[in-house]
Amino acid sequence: MRPSPLFPLFADLPTLPGVGATLAKTLARLTGGGRLLDLLWHLPSGLIDRTATPSIVAARPHAMATLAVRVIEHAPPRSRRQPWRVQCGDATGEITLVFFNARSDWLMKLLPPGETRVVSGVVEAYGEMLQMVHPDYVVPQDEADEGGLPAIEPVYPMTTGLAPKLLLKAIRGALERVPELDEWLDPALKSRRRWPGWREALATAHAPGSTADLEPHASARQRLAYDELLANQLALAVVRRRQRRQPGRVIKVTGALAERVLQQLPFTLTAAQRLALAEILGDMAQPSRMLRLLQGDVGSGKTVVALLAMLHAIEAGAQAALMAPTELLARQHLATIAPLAEAAGVRAALLTGREKESARRATLAGLAAGEIGIAIGTHALVQEGVAFRDLALAVIDEQHRFGVEQRLALAAKGGCSDVLVMSATPIPRTLTLTAYGDLDVSRLAEKPPGRQRVDTRVLPVDRLDEVTAALGRMLSAGAKAYWVCPLVEDSEALDVAAAEERHAALARLFPGRVGLVHGRMKTADREVVMRSFRDGPPSVLVATTVIEVGVDVPAATVMVVEHAERFGLAQLHQLRGRVGRSTAAATCILLYAPPVTETARARLTVLRETDDGFRIAEEDLKLRGAGDLLGVKQSGLPAFRLADLAVHGELLACAADDARLILERDPELTGERGRALRTLLYLFERDAAIRTLRAG
């Protein structure tokens, strides 16, 4: 149950004076939610300084000025297309106030001739005269003296159909309802950092006195960012602690099954693979449950490590499951794993949403009876009716495509299963902490032996003819190539149109040798094209970014990306990872359309300089921030409203340590600070952690 002091913050926007249904809808579109709390998390991005109060003669064009003027006369327009002008002056000169489409009665009341008014806005030169078009403020002198005209005014990110004054009024209304809450910060930390209380920090963040107050390192903003990060880390720590407390099983075997597979492999494990496997098997041998993330670049050999771990579980008489985000990826895993598992005498089976009913029934029966050792599938694995005889190890691939709930749902099929999650998307250490703070982490930073670095070239798009000519020579030598078409204005329909146009052009150059795949095709049709590209005649596969994850064609050695400047770093790295998956030399050509932004130029430079996915991920965080780091909005990463991981990484590490100490001292959060921290978890909507605490 949410604590009652928080009720005002979770009230709907129409409870604010002057906020009707239409305005509430606009505000919700801007702030990402329809509650007062969403308004409060919407912080200023700039400010207007109205402290300059020159005389008219000293006012400078194109500058903000606040002027005390006497209204001389009104000059109504001769036609509807002309503005209404109001001549004003002081002892030093005159200025014209200009209004378009304004009502005469309103203007006469606002600026009565002979009266003094304080006006504030941008001064402009109009011929020899000064003018101010639609002043931001027009108030009587006494009202200006009493604060009716702010000296410093915050500027917020805006959306169409919303006036700044309406947003400001709504935010001020929300600030008036902010309650006093018990302090949840460690007193020593708060004192050392010189942070204000939570309520004061929120008020200060919305009332910047200078541009320094807008910086992420400003005291008030740091305090709010830390609160959000602490809620994140504490919630993860609560979940982790509960998982750790649940009994696991001790799996200690000779490794005979794994040894049989190792003998079948055409390569030896890298040092990184051996270390990761040792860490995983060490966890599986403990009486507590394993919760481990296996991070590795495309082609670093995660699947083999996972298979060897699964064989240890099977040797102990249990079963294992591998869940992938797409059917294509699940089938690819089956193709890799099934022959190796068979060599060890282990049966692997596929379970997706598209299996024929008879095959599905047979698979379900095999899993329930324990005849199938390894189940490979999509989220179909966690559906009701899927039962294992004894699931000991749950492996989740491309973890960022799944939520924590799905991860736990698969593990729950075994009661006390160990959990291994894998990600081919390198994630900076700070984001690893926020997304996977409940997991231990193993990293595969080496490529398998014999893999060559992909030769990456960055070329302007006007050299397209040279690229297609070079591609023709490579195809004649037996190469296979991907051609990825540009992202177009966040529109899948336009992406598809671009891909179809490029497919038609290449098909004219290389008749009968070009395939096409895009996100609007049915999954089955897409798989037919991809299988044909892998096994059959097509030498070129034109695609949208659907090939980013999950296509394994070792013979593909060429990757062309059109308008590479439109893609994120991590996304380009993933695309490049589709080639160079054998010992053959591979080339990646990134075509850009000048002029490019500084950020895009930096991305392309980093990609040309390195193929280290972890360095690329760190650079991407610096260039783009954490908001859309993975190039996919549904990334499974927490969305932070107040914290910026690119600049608050040090606060995150502090919050992780703080969360660990909190639970060591007060595991159930029942002490004085613990109760305040429960409020913090509700404030940042980490209610699941509270439910976990209640469940023990």
No. of H helices and E strands in the chain? 24, 22
Displacement of CA 246 from its chain's centroid (Å): 31
Give the sign of the dihedral formed by CA 311, CA 313, CA 317, CA 320: negative
pLDDT at 465: 94
pLDDT at 629: 38
Give DSSP secondary structure letters for 411-442: HHTTSS-EEEEEESS---HHHHHHHHTTSEEE
Residues 6+ apart with CB under 8 A from 529: 515, 516, 517, 521, 538, 541
For 72, the 3-state DSSP assignment is strand
pLDDT at 630: 34
pLDDT at 67: 97
Torsion of CA 221, 225, 226, 232, to 10 degrees: 170
Cite the residue boundaries of each domain of the chain with CATH code 2.40.50.140: 51-149
pLDDT at 531: 81
pLDDT at 633: 35
Torsion of CA 571, 574, 575, 576, to 10 degrees: 120
- Whether a cis peptide bond, with omega within 30° of 0, leads into 595 is yes
CATH architecture of the domain with residue range 455-610: 3-Layer(aba) Sandwich (3.40)
pLDDT at 272: 92
Interval 55-73 mean pLDDT: 97
Each residue's pLDDT tens digit, 112-122:
999 999 999 99
Q: What CA–CA distance (Å, rounded) separates 588 from 93?
A: 66
Give the sign of the dihedral formed by CA 335, CA 337, CA 338, CA 340: positive
Q: What CA–CA distance (Å, rounded) separates 359 from 404?
A: 29
Proportion of the chain above pLDDT 90, given as a percent: 60
* Helix/strand/coil percentages in the chain, nearest 5: 45, 20, 35
pLDDT tier at 551, thresholds 50, 70, 90? low
| Residue 511 Cα distances to 13, 506, 601, angstroms | 60, 8, 35
Residue 627 has pLDDT above 50, yes or no: no
Q: What CA–CA distance (Å, rounded) separates 571 from 548?
A: 7
DSSP code at position 146:
I
Displacement of CA 437 from its chain's centroid (Å): 16
pLDDT at 403: 61
Q: What CA–CA distance (Å, rounded) separates 383 from 78?
A: 73
Pick the CATH number of 51-149 from 3.40.30.10, 3.40.50.300, 2.170.190.11, 2.40.50.140: 2.40.50.140
Q: What's 351-402 look like in SS3? A: ECCCCCHHHHHHHHHHHHHCCCCEEEECHHHHCCCCCCCCEEEEEECCHHHC
Burial class (CB within 10 angstroms; exposed 0-12, middle 13-18, buried 19+) of 101: exposed
Please count the other Cβ atoms lying within 10 Å of the Cβ belonging to residue 501. 12
Query: What end-to-end distance do the CA atoms of the chain give, in Å?
Result: 17
For 95, the 3-state DSSP assignment is strand
- The residue that leads in pLDDT, 486 or 317, is 317
Residue 628 has pLDDT above 50, yes or no: no
Each residue's pLDDT tens digit, 570-588:
788 888 988 887 778 899 9
| Residue 492 Cα distances to 579, 629, 651, angstroms | 24, 20, 38
Residue 550 has pLDDT above 60, yes or no: no
- The residue that leads in pLDDT, 695 or 123, is 123
**Both structure tokens of 573:** 């790295």
- The residue that leads in pLDDT, 164 or 568, is 164
Residue 147 has pLDDT above 60, yes or no: yes
Residue 342 has pLDDT above 80, yes or no: yes
How does the average pLDDT of the chain come out, rounded? 88
Q: What CA–CA distance (Å, rounded) separates 584 from 6?
A: 61
Q: What CA–CA distance (Å, rounded) separates 60 from 260?
A: 83
Residue 76 has pLDDT above 90, yes or no: yes
Cite the residue boundaries of each domain of the chain with CATH code 3.40.50.300: 256-444, 455-610
pLDDT at 301: 87
pLDDT at 436: 66
pLDDT at 538: 82
pLDDT tier at 472, thresholds 50, 70, 90? very high
pLDDT tier at 402, thresholds 50, 70, 90? low
pLDDT at 487: 66
Residue 695 has pLDDT above 60, yes or no: no
pLDDT at 198: 98
Q: Note whether 579 and 449 are within 8 A (CB).
A: no
Determine the CATH number of domain 256-444. 3.40.50.300
pLDDT at 615: 81
| Residue 335 Cα distances to 338, 349, 397, angstroms | 6, 10, 15
Closest CA to 441 of 242, 290, 322: 290
pLDDT at 636: 42
Backbone angles phi, psi at 87, to 5 degrees: -85, 125
pLDDT tier at 665, thresholds 50, 70, 90? very high
Antiparallel, parallel or unpaired: β 391-396 and 129-133: unpaired
Residue 155 has pLDDT above 90, yes or no: yes
pLDDT tier at 520, thresholds 50, 70, 90? confident
Proportion of the chain above pLDDT 70, given as a percent: 92
Burial class (CB within 10 angstroms; exposed 0-12, middle 13-18, buried 19+) of 107: middle
pLDDT at 227: 98
